[in-house]
Amino acid sequence: MSTPNYHQFSIGIEEEYMVIDPESRELKSHEQKIVIEGQKLLKDKVKAEMHQAVVEVGTDVCSNINEALDDVAALRGNISAIANSMGLAVGAAGTHPFSHWNSQLITDHDRYHQIVNELQEAARSNLIFGLHVHVGVEDRKMAIHIANSARYFLPHVYALSTNSPFWEGRFTGYKSFRSKVFDKFPRTGIPDHFQSIEAYEAYVNLLIKTNCIDNAKKIWWDVRVHPFFNTVEFRICDVPLKIKETIAIAALFQAICAKLYLLRTHNLNFISYQRALINENKWRASRYGIDGTLIDFGKETEVPTRQLILELLDFVDDVVDHLDSRNALQYIHTILEEGTGADKQIQVFQKTNSLPKVVDFIQAQFLQL
């Protein structure tokens, strides 16, 4: 049997950053000045988002996780420098600890006006910051197969990324409240299982035909086959505090794709579980992060989330060296030992009783590896 083509699993990473007023620590509209200056240097790797207090960046298509590390570090460094030159700061967390969405401006763009017109308060209040990871796959038939099977692992990786415990000045009790905010949008969350790429495309075409959407980019699931490229796009995660957290999570998504591909080439498959069951684990990950339990559906029992994450690392271990991602994945053990971004934000708040101090911490972590 021929060796699988591991070179196909390219990586693209998108991160959304918050723009901060260093004095008030509130979110601050930058009037797209950071985007304009960023595009002079980085071209289309810097983009506006719906709210003017957000900057979105995207890496090049990276052939391996080491290239992605360099690209993410460079993007964070450049955006931070541009913001600082304007008297602003940037940070990475799934939500801002205390700024209110109703005081933030919407970007003047037809696409965003259309979304706000349709979704109203759900769109205006969607002031959240996510991480999207694209993994290249050889064709769309394989992509839908991988997306179907990868759904099971979404809560495991999501738990590692939890980084939004505060919302509008309150401790929410969740490790990731970002997903609760985003749930107000249609076509979000864990997707259904699709029997084929043709079934997925028929679904998309029906939504377009009936004026639900104008294109498949308005399907905002936690994982999707990209509308235009041969990639599996993972969208469930909060944007992490630190660079190596982002890279470790991206490497894990890449390894999951490669392992599911390897199984397929050996005429094997991972069990596909119902969306309703996977949603139970997603809720647990949102509420408790890595400190809770997830359901092992095969054993039909609760298992500590940390244990299941270690089992996931074992599951993908035989593809990791082919992907040259062992060093990147090693950082997952650091997250398990030190806590997620949410855990660290909560620790700062418990020590200081100050949400502005939490914002200072978020800002200080932005360029940390």
Residue 1 maps to a domain: no
Q: Where are the alpha helices (DSSP H) in 120-186?
A: 121-124, 140-150, 154-161, 178-182
Residue 360, sorted as left (phi over 0), alpha (psi -120 to 50) or beta, turns out to be alpha
> Are β-strands 220-221 and 188-189 bridged in parallel, bridged antiparallel, or unpaired?
parallel
Query: Residues 6 or more apart from 51 whose CB is under 8 A from it?
Result: 101, 104, 105, 106, 107, 126, 127
Q: Please measure the distance between the N-terminal and C-terminal CA atoms of the chain and give it in whole angstroms.
A: 40
Mapping DSSP to helix (H, G, I), strand (E, B) and coil, where does residue 267 land?
coil
Query: Residues 6 or more apart from 122 whose CB is under 8 A from it?
Result: 184, 185
Q: Where are the alpha helices (DSSP H) in 86-137?
A: 110-119, 121-124
> Are β-strands 11-20 and 293-296 bridged in parallel, bridged antiparallel, or unpaired?
unpaired
Residue 134 maps to a domain: yes
Residue 23 maps to a domain: yes
Query: pLDDT value at position 2?
Result: 58
Token couple for 50: 């719906």
- The list of the chain residues with pLDDT below 50 reads 1
Q: Rg (Cα) of the chain, in Å, rounded?
A: 20
- Tell me the pLDDT tens digit for each residue of 124-148: 888 999 999 999 999 999 999 999 9
How many structural domains are present in the chain? 1
Q: What is the CATH number of the domain that holds 271?
A: 3.30.590.20
Token couple for 302: 């609760």
Query: pLDDT value at position 224?
Result: 97
Tally of CA atoms within 13 A in the half-sphere of 273 that contains its CB = 18
Question: Which residues span the domain enclosing 36?
Answer: 6-365
Query: pLDDT value at position 271?
Result: 86
Among residues 363, 358, 365, 369, the alpha carbon closest in space to that of 97 is found at 358
The residue with tokens 């990147």 is 328
Query: pLDDT value at position 93?
Result: 98
- Tell me the pLDDT tens digit for each residue of 302-354: 999 999 999 999 999 999 999 999 999 999 999 999 999 999 999 999 999 99
Distance of CA 215 to the CA centre of its chain: 21
Cβ atoms of 163 and 94 within 8 Å: the answer is: yes
Token couple for 80: 């931070």
Cβ atoms < 10 Å from Cβ of 214: 11
Token couple for 141: 């038939």
**Alpha carbons 101 and 126: distance in angstroms, whole number:** 8
**Alpha carbons 44 and 35: distance in angstroms, whole number:** 9
Query: Model-level pTM?
Result: 0.96
Among residues 255, 247, 256, 222, the alpha carbon closest in space to that of 335 is found at 247
Among residues 225, 266, 40, the alpha carbon closest in space to that of 135 is found at 225
* Measured CA angle at 160 (ends 159, 166), to 5 deg: 70
